[in-house]
Chain A
Amino acid sequence: MKWGSYIAREVTKPLFLIIGIFIVSVSPMFMSVEGFVWPGLQVFTDVWKQLMEPGSLIYVNPTSGVERDLFPFIFNAFRSSMTILGIALSASFCIALLGTILLWRASKKVYNGFVATTSFLQSIPDIVFVVAAQMLLVWLYQKTGMNVAKVSGAGAEEAVLAPAVVLAVLPTMYFFQSMLELVEEERKEHYYELAVSKGLTKSYILLSHILRNMLVRLAYQAKFLVSILISNLLIIEYLFNNLGMTSFLLDYSQPPVFFVTALLFFIPIYLFLKVIELALYLSTKQEVSL
């Protein structure tokens, strides 16, 4: 019984999300030059028919008007996006974790200073970081004549390092602030006092007890953090001129193309969240719904 309802829930949930993606991808049809319009049901069935034959899907380059097959070309874009996303996610997580461990022994004042700074930096628009990074790279090039990282590029010469670093900045701030606050909360728990009174060293308590509890609570925010990452990825790929998933979502977007791209984007991220959920359940026996 319990397993039955569990499977039912896990199957319906992504189904609703896919319906949501479909709604979003047909939504531009409700808007015309003159405001909202009702396009008629015919349009939706057309989109649906096109989706049934994914092999025949094409995308149109808006400037040249050339039509090309969507598959398998889209997988290049997919790889590029996922590389940047993966690097940024793991880098920001590691940096924030390292920072948290280093700050563990810091004084209250320094600690609170870091919390305030990170929460301040979070509210700054992501474009500021992109602009700053591009300016810095150009400036470095002018001063030293050294090409530290590519500012933009195309095809095989695509810039990867600079976008990934810029993409990592904001999530690092979010991770860092949440980790610092959660660690601070864990420090108020009774088990911490007990451990201190037993004479365990502080670093031991941090590494074997607090971090574990902190990561569980951090996982609840995973969906939110992923949403920030994706929203930043959009703007960063656009400004660094990368041919990623976002160019299909922005420039080449007819409803079927949008739907396929969004779905392709959504599946690995959803699976990633599910893996976190499962890992948490196996290691701590706590059920998290992401």
Chain B
Amino acid sequence: MMKIIVRQPMLVAGLGFVVVMLAASFIHMGFFDSYVAKTPYLYDNDNNMIGAPFAPFDYSILGTDFNGNHLIYYILKGAKYTILGAFSIGLVSFFIAFLIGVPLGFKFKGTAKIVENTISVLYFIPASLIAYNLLKPLLWQPFEGFPTSLAFRLTLEVLVISMLLIPPAAILIASETSVILKRDFVISSRVLGGKPYHLFRYHLFPHLKQSFINLFTRQTIQAILVMTHLGVFELFFGGTLVDYSLMGGRPVPVTYDWASLIGMYYYNLQTHAPWLVGIPLIFLVLFILSLLGIARGVKNIITPALLPAGLRDKAQTEKSTEPQMDPSNFMMVSGSNSHK
């Protein structure tokens, strides 16, 4: 098993990035108390004072912002919220979409059409817009401070974003289910008395397994996109701290997740410190790429047909090391070239 995983470089790279970022983030929280180093000014060789911001690799590896906060610490601090947040939105929306979509696929007519019509509003109004309007009262800090805890806000935000991502996914699963249910082998199984659960377990599930990985990846990427949009609208993941004092500064995130770093620094884009937006964006893109890599790798593993020829034999022989010969091997199969 280990060997198969190692032979998938995309899977290793993607998993590596996610695991390293998560581990570093938790170590940073556990042992260093989410400390953020600050260098407001430095002295150069001629003993002149130079002020922040410092460019990446200049002094700190990812540079600093205008107040001298090191960006690398913000990235570490926010990694766990970004990664776990996106994954939990992906998981919740995927599971609920599955629970709704499969029964919907079994009777994909009549009422299902009405539901679909009402839901296709989501095609015309983007999810991030609805999320923004819905979450603004919750996440925008009121003058008196938040009455709710961070965990409560995070849970509610995950639930709301998942809710918005469920309908398209559920419709996708439903239509895929209904396509499979119209195939010949399902019809013959029905004729022989197959109950819906039997159809689901033995005919539907093996076929849907493939598209599940695609769908889960898609949901997670969608979640990242919505989070990024909300971040740009200054509605940060887990809450926005608003400065109500007279000299009020910009709104600041609570969790410093990557999407909110983009939103927090966006007004710096056209100054001489464009890396403040660029670096969180690069990390987000890397996260998306590692998700795609993981999806590709897992798909290659569960469908040996896609593996390169050398590996395919191994993957098959590992299941049953000694080929057993039994009469079923010699049965006539009509259309035998159908299993590739």
Contacts and interface: CB of A to CB of B under 8 A. Distances in A.
A31 interface: yes
Contact of B129 (A17, A127, A131, A249): A249
Contacts of B284: 125
A69 B232 CA distance: 28
Contact of B288 (A30, A124, A239, A258): A124
B83 interface: no
A231 B147 contact: no
Interface in B214-261: 221, 224-225, 228-229, 232-233
Given A125-B288, A250-B132, A262-B125, A239 B232 contact: yes
B117 A13 contact: yes
Task: Tell me whether chain A's interface is mostly helix, strand or loop, or mixed.
Answer: helix
Interface of B: 114, 117-130, 132-138, 142, 146-148, 152, 156, 221, 224-225, 228-229, 232-233, 262, 266, 269-270, 274, 277-278, 281, 284-285, 288-289, 292
A111 interface: no
Contact of B130 (A27, A128, A223, A235): A27
A129 to B, nearest CB: 11
Nearest to B271: A138
A24 B288 contact: no
Interface residues of A, number: 50
Contacts of A124: 285, 288
13 contacts: A13-B117, A17-B118, A24-B121, A24-B125, A31-B136, A33-B142, A131-B269, A131-B278, A135-B269, A234-B129, A235-B229, A249-B133, A269-B124
A151 B229 contact: no
Nearest to B262: A127
B23 to A, nearest CB: 25
A227 B117 contact: no
A124 B289 CA distance: 8
A127 B313 CA distance: 44
B129 A250 contact: yes
Contacts of B125: 21, 24, 230, 249, 262, 266
A126 B231 CA distance: 13
Contact of B270 (A33, A36, A134, A226): A134
Listed residue (B117, B136, B228, B289) with the most chain A CB atoms within 10 angstroms of its CB: B117
Contact of B133 (A126, A258, A270): A258
A226 B123 contact: yes
Contact of A266 (B124, B147, B229, B278): B124
B152 A35 contact: yes
Contact of A28 (B119, B137, B152, B285): B137
B278 A19 contact: no
Contacts of A123: 221, 288-289, 292
